[in-house]
Amino acid sequence: MRDIVFTRESGWIPNVIREDGELKLMLGAGADANHAPRTFSFSIEEAHLAVIREDLARHLLLWSAVLPLCDDAGTRGRLDENAAGALLDPILFSAPVDVDALFHRIRWDRGRLIAHGADIDLLERGQVCAAMRAATETSNGKRAQEYHANRRRAERGTVLAPLDAAILKYTGQYLHGATVPRRMPDAVDPALLPEVMRVIATAEQACAGMRIGRDPRRGKRATDKRDWDRMATTVDAAVRRAHPELVDDAVRTVSFLMCSEAVDRSRSTPMEDDEEAGGDRANFGGSTRKTILSFTDDKGVEQKWHLDSPRTATAEFWEFVGDRSAADNEVFTIEDEEMGEGIQLHFYADSIARITTVREGEGGSDPEYRVEYSLVDGIGGYRNLVSTFVRGGCAALEQHGPWMPDVAEFERARRRRDAQ
């Protein structure tokens, strides 16, 4: 049978329980293999309970010292109760100078004490007892997160000036650099907000008119990495030139914000080809204008497009690619059966083949095709080639070569490019 003897306002601070007549300190720490919280306990005496009840600082110091032992237990192991018990007297009964000396020798959870109000400067100097004079039962987890974030930056040699910190808080990346940035003006000291906005304005002006396009080769929501890198480089250069005092972390978070917002805009836009989206179909007249096209992938799935379809051929094709593209499905074909021509896109090799019918099959004989290969420069190159083929067929692709009919020659060209 278990009874709670003593507990504090915060449910995470260790409780004192009586279990089968024995006093124990019980705390939750870590998780098991199923991610459920683990609970540990070890025996204490009435004298320990008296100090724990009356002295919040010592209670928190004991908790901080026991937590690493819980971490050692992992997801299945047992708490080393002897090691935990050995901490009781030195932490709860010793003079402050001896407690400070103990904390120089053992592992302890610094963040836990900071979350409960410990003076960070005193902790850094090793004066743990003095640091706990301002301790509170309530926890401020954000305070500990800020401490750890600053410590990680310091380990990299980065020290934030007030404006650097304000920019990181504006983007929501002050605590976690991996967080997707967003605009949070309320998180910034009002006195620093105008300076932050000047930096943001510099970035916005630098990337005005730039966009990050979609990359259907990697799925419906994927975007072009080259476009991202181009925008990030442009913003970085502009911000560093206009505000040379900023540290790298602050500059990177601004370019990350600009790129993330550009990606959001791209993903909210229908998948249309840059040249055909919103255009007048009549402007693409002529005998080579495609009226019926067949899209296929490497799995044999086929989709037809007709001129009277509600969307452009390029938009329909890239939507088809976004839906079907995968690691084992990287070859897509657009075919105009009426004209006897088509293109085959090889995403795995950044290459394309244009295929034209030289002679129709007659009397049971197979038709004869001319196949020519060319290298492609990223998703932008693919978009341009697909759009060109849809408007003008294989003949219109001539200017986008060189086209190599010899497979061996093409493979040598591909290897040279990949080696660069």
Instruction: Give me the long-range contacts of 241-248 (CB less than 8 A, separation at least 24).
Output: 242/199, 242/202, 243/199, 243/202, 245/161, 245/163, 246/163, 246/164, 246/167, 246/199, 247/158, 247/159, 247/160, 247/161, 247/164, 248/158
* pLDDT at position 221: 84
Beta bridge partners of 357: 369
How much is the CA Rg of the chain, to the nearest whole Å?
33
Which DSSP category does 180 fall into?
Answer: P
Q: What is the pLDDT along the chain (420 residues), one digit of tens a residue?
A: 789 999 998 778 999 999 989 999 999 998 888 888 899 999 999 999 999 999 999 999 999 999 999 999 998 899 999 999 999 999 999 999 999 999 999 999 999 999 999 999 999 999 999 999 999 999 999 999 999 999 999 899 999 999 999 999 999 999 987 789 999 999 999 999 999 999 999 999 999 999 999 899 998 888 899 999 999 999 999 999 999 999 999 999 999 999 999 999 988 877 664 444 333 333 333 345 688 999 999 999 999 999 888 889 999 999 999 999 999 999 999 999 989 999 999 999 999 999 999 887 666 677 888 999 999 999 999 999 999 999 999 999 999 989 999 999 999 999 999 888
Q: Alpha-carbon distance 52 to 15, whole Å?
A: 10
Before 402, cis peptide (omega within 30)?
yes
List all residues 6 or more positions away from 167 whose beta carbon is below 8 Å from its beta carbon: 196, 199, 246, 250, 253, 254
pLDDT of residue 364: 67
Non-local CB neighbours of 215 within 8 Å, separated by 6+ positions: 222, 223, 224, 225, 379
* pTM of structure: 0.74
pLDDT recorded at residue 289: 63
Q: Which pair of tokens denotes residue 145? A: 């997160």
How far is residue 156 from each of residues 45, 111, 237, measured CA to CA in Å? 45, 19, 22
Q: Which two tokens stand for residue 306?
A: 């007709």
Both tokens assigned to 130: 């003095």
Residue identified by tokens 């080259």 is 226
Distance of CA 397 to the CA centre of its chain: 38
Asked whether 256 and 277 are in contact (CB, 8 A), the reply is no
Distance in angstroms (rounded) separating the CA atoms of residues 342 and 223 = 26
Q: Is 15 left (phi over 0), alpha (psi -120 to 50) or beta?
A: beta
Measured CA to CA in angstroms, residue 377 lies from 177, 207, 388 at distances of 31, 23, 15
Q: What is the pLDDT of residue 401?
A: 85
Residues in contact with 261: Cβ distance below 8 Å, sequence separation at least 6, in sequence order: none
Neighbours of 229 (CB within 10 A): 12
> Rounded distance, CA 308 to CA 295, Å?
16
